[in-house]
Amino acid sequence: MNKNIFTPALYGGPKSINYKLKSYNSIGIEEIKAANKVLKSGKLSNFMAGKNKKFYGGTYVKKFEKYLQNFYKVKYAITLNSWTSGLICAVGALDIEPGDEIITTPWTMCACATAILHWNAIPVFADIDPNTFCIDPKSIKKKITKKTKAILAVDIFGVGSDLDKIKRVIRGKKISIISDSAQSPYFFYKKKLAGTQSEIGGYSLNCHKHINTGEGGILVTNNKKIANRVFKLRNHAEASVGIKDDISNMLGYNFRMGEIECAIGIEQYKKLKKIIFSRNKLLNKLAENLEKLKGIRIPTSKIKLNNYYVFPIVLNIDLLRVSRKKILTLLKAEGVEGLVEGYANIHQLPVFKRKIAYGKKGFPWNIYNKKIDYKKSLCPVAEELHEKSFLSYQVCLFSYTNKDIRNISKAFYKVWKYLNF
């Protein structure tokens, strides 16, 4: 084959994208001014533990939490130093006992499961829905036992879990729902924002999310008891509870967010809607282009106002008759940045495979659930996608223009043409 414009860059042809995509940065002059204002005040944090006026934090903590209550239309919004801390607080606030079981998804980051372990409860993994990549209600139903106390549903990639179906599965049972909406901060489920329709919801302000404060998290709830427990857990609970209070799980931490982060957070949230709408419009166009190619499926592309934290691509490997790795190699050579094979299967991490968490003897499993097995094939849909057919396009890393979308599409079409698809 002569080397011309149709020759893949991998084999000496011209690259489809000859420049680096612009890194994504949601921070601007507004955040700089807000941070400087706090710095000039000299009060970078105004928290104190124990029963005192500073237990709930300073001016910007309270201002940001009030802003978030209005934004998410909830009774309580609580800022934390990370959403990992939020997950730990969420589980502890639900009166979880050692040995209780909490069902979650393998397609998330490890903190969702380790937050369960943190309270000596047992993580149980349900499979994912192949069309949304969120936890599958049908799989949840199969995993419920008498020990099940909660479902930790993750609103993955920028879309929400099917809460109606999950609620039908647990109807009549004393099972709570925690919604991890870290990747879906402005996704609407039945006209309400993701994270607001469960006992507890939450969002991440980590540096690689849609908006960020460097590190940070937000927990929301409409339950006064839960909110009070989270406020305590955030700020050294053992120093603030009374002798007659419910002190179960009141081993608290310093999970507090500082004044600078909260000042930045207010400015970031003012931009969130615009960011989501802009990304949705551009990546819907990319989905429209790519779905015309043989053997490509983008299941979430028709979901209204997809937040697109990750752009999911499913390859029909049997139809294409070429490996995912080969396709990925060709696309990377064309200059396509941010493509990764698979996503995650956290039930296969050593902590679960070997059941080693606290000490070396298998606690808490060796005391409460010796029979549970995080074996391969536990979540067949998640495992097949991760190992064989799923490409996760880390769109959160870049700022896109229409030109970028055209060139990314061009690279895919060039590779498909070379492979005679």
Output the DSSP codes for 75-89: SEEEEES-HHHHHHH
Residues 6+ apart with CB under 8 A from 381: 127, 128, 129, 130, 136
Distance CA 162, CA 173 (A): 18
Predicted local distance difference test score (pLDDT) of residue 150: 98
DSSP 176: E
Least confident of 66-80, 117-131, 238-252, 258-272: 238-252
Question: If you write DSSP's letter for every residue of 205-232 in order, what string do you get?
Answer: --TTSSS--SS-EEEEES-HHHHHHHHH
Mean pLDDT of all residues in 244-261: 95
Residues 6+ apart with CB under 8 A from 413: 289, 293
Predicted local distance difference test score (pLDDT) of residue 1: 47
Is the pLDDT at 320 greater than 90? The verdict is yes
The residue that leads in pLDDT, 52 or 386, is 386
Strand partners, 392: 312, 340
Confidence of residue 3 (pLDDT cuts 50, 70, 90): low
Cβ proximity of 74 and 194 under 8 Å: no
Distance CA 74, CA 202 (A): 12
Residue 327 CA: distances (Å) to CA of 298, 339, 410: 16, 11, 14
Tokens of 364: 């808490």
Place of tokens 């536990």: 378
Distance CA 175, CA 150 (A): 5
Predicted local distance difference test score (pLDDT) of residue 227: 98
pLDDT in tens, 383-397: 999 999 999 999 999
Residues 6+ apart with CB under 8 A from 183: 154, 155, 156, 157, 158, 204, 209, 307, 309, 310
pLDDT in tens, 158-187: 999 999 999 999 999 999 999 999 999 999
Predicted local distance difference test score (pLDDT) of residue 243: 87
pLDDT in tens, 118-131: 999 999 999 999 99
How much is the pTM?
0.96
Predicted local distance difference test score (pLDDT) of residue 35: 98
Domains in the chain, start-ordered, CATH in brackets? 29-268 (3.40.640.10)
